[in-house]
Chain A
Amino acid sequence: MTTAIEKRRSPWAWLRVDAEAPAWASAASWLLVLAAASLFFAATFFRLRYHWNWEAVWAYRAKFVIGWLTTVALSCAALILSGLIGAATALARRSPWRPLRQAAFLYVEAIRSTPLLVQILILFYIVGSALGIEDRYVAGVLILSLFGGAYIGEIVRAGIEGVGHSQLESARAIGLTPAQTYRHVIFPQALRQILPPLAGQFISLIKDSSLLSVIAVNELTQNAREVNAFTYSTLEAYLPLAAGYLLLTLPLSWISRRLERRYRYET
């Protein structure tokens, strides 16, 4: 006699990630998670008995807009420049010329081992003054780019070295020059490895731009701090600040995910 084996499913089974979950499970689970988070924050604010004073901050909305636009401009310039510096650094670290390799190594280690704040102060007040770079916005972009360039250089280098050695053999065998090999074989494949950490680094750069406020660069964080000083409404000033950065970083994350999917293929 045979008995049918029934699989006993617990009532919470629909929350598990498996093929038998119903189609609405994902949306329902998101709802649960977001509701819990909202409840938590609402409870904390309620406990603080915080007196919300949005009028005071609304009066300074122009400062937020100007600050946000400045952050966008600084970040864009720094992203592009640090990308270029990073690519150059990666190539320098793989150069057949020893001094170039060592110089690149020194640069990367120096930047990665010191806090950005210290770099900003030293590069602006000491090096910048010595070189005659007076404009703090130009200096700010340069400093951020140098900072990002070191990290991006390492990311790019890892991506390049991740391309299998046999590919380079193949490229040589069919007669490609080293430059052609980089362009047609290495970079297209390295891009796949590079994209996720690169997007992360770009997002970090946007947030790190807030440190430029120490040299009185008029970006978003600086403006939020000033509004806080004028109105004593800390949360009403800093919540828009967070929203401002989210507005910049979320699209970047989305683009990065799309690019990852496009370049995904089996090896």
Chain B
Amino acid sequence: MKLELAGLTKTFGSGVHAHPALRGVDLACEGRCIALIGPSGGGKSTLLRVLAGLEAPTSGTARWNGAPLPNDEDGLRAHRRRIGVVFQAYNLFPHLSALENVTLPLEKVHGFTPAAARERARELLARFHLEAHGMKKPAALSGGQRQRVAIVRAVAAQPQAVLLDEPTSALDPEMTVEVLDMLAELKAEGRDLLVVTHAMGFARQAADAVVFLAEGRVVEDGPAEPLFAAPRTEECRRFLAKVLKY
């Protein structure tokens, strides 16, 4: 996955209520798995949403694997269909079973036949040890299982990349590991991942490149291990010292 961002700005609201979430993000980054880290309110989620085609930037350019990100709603919808997104929570539709949650986009968005969609969904759920939960509604699943089903839904249609916004922030440590294990597997399979996360250990181990975002700007970026071992900027150093304290 190759990201080229120049002067990317996103402001919510207008006039006195304007909130600049991204203030001119410049980035040139490449890697199979890219991790976005940084303090709360720094703009990580906003950046992910812009790259996912859920928000249109106020100004600036973004190129995704060499092609510019579309600006109009139809183009954005086409872009959204090519990638998978997983949010921190409330991914799944509560009125559908786990299986149906996975087959819905396959059938309605990607044109699978119902039989083919079911086949693919079962295959993936089994692959990630979720086949026993296929018939259950999300309310009957644990948080970790829900997130894993959401990830299955995201990868089912063979997307170009999977974008995850703090996938484990709402989970307890044990479920966190379940989900991160799954992400590591996906990466090993060859999938492109962009993860906003607070799980520093995972970022250090699994990410190829790490981007540190604070106050709407890229403060530091680079390969994972060197950045964690010896952060170049003071801000980054302070941040890492704080989150890795316990």
Contact = CB atoms under 8 A, between A and B. Distances in A.
A and B touch in the complex (CB under 8 A): yes
A174 B105 contact: yes
A221 B164 CA distance: 63
B108 interface: yes
A172 B93 contact: no
Interface of A: 164, 166-167, 169-177, 180, 184-185, 188-189, 192, 265-267
Secondary structure of the A contact surface, majority rule: helix
A170 B81 contact: no
Contacts, number: 59
Interface residues of B, number: 23
Nearest to A263: B95
Interface of B: 52, 54, 77, 80-81, 84-85, 87, 89-95, 104-105, 108-109, 137, 139-140, 153
A174 B139 contact: no
B46 to A, nearest CB: 14
B25 to A, nearest CB: 21
Given A175-B109, A176-B109, A166 B87 contact: yes
A189 B137 contact: no
B87 A169 contact: yes
Most A Cβ at <10 Å: residue of B84, B95, B137:
B95
B80 A174 contact: yes
B140 to A, nearest CB: 8
B92 to A, nearest CB: 7
B148 to A, nearest CB: 16
Contacts of A171: 93
Most A Cβ at <10 Å: residue of B54, B87, B94, B137:
B94
Contacts of A177: 77
B91 A189 contact: no
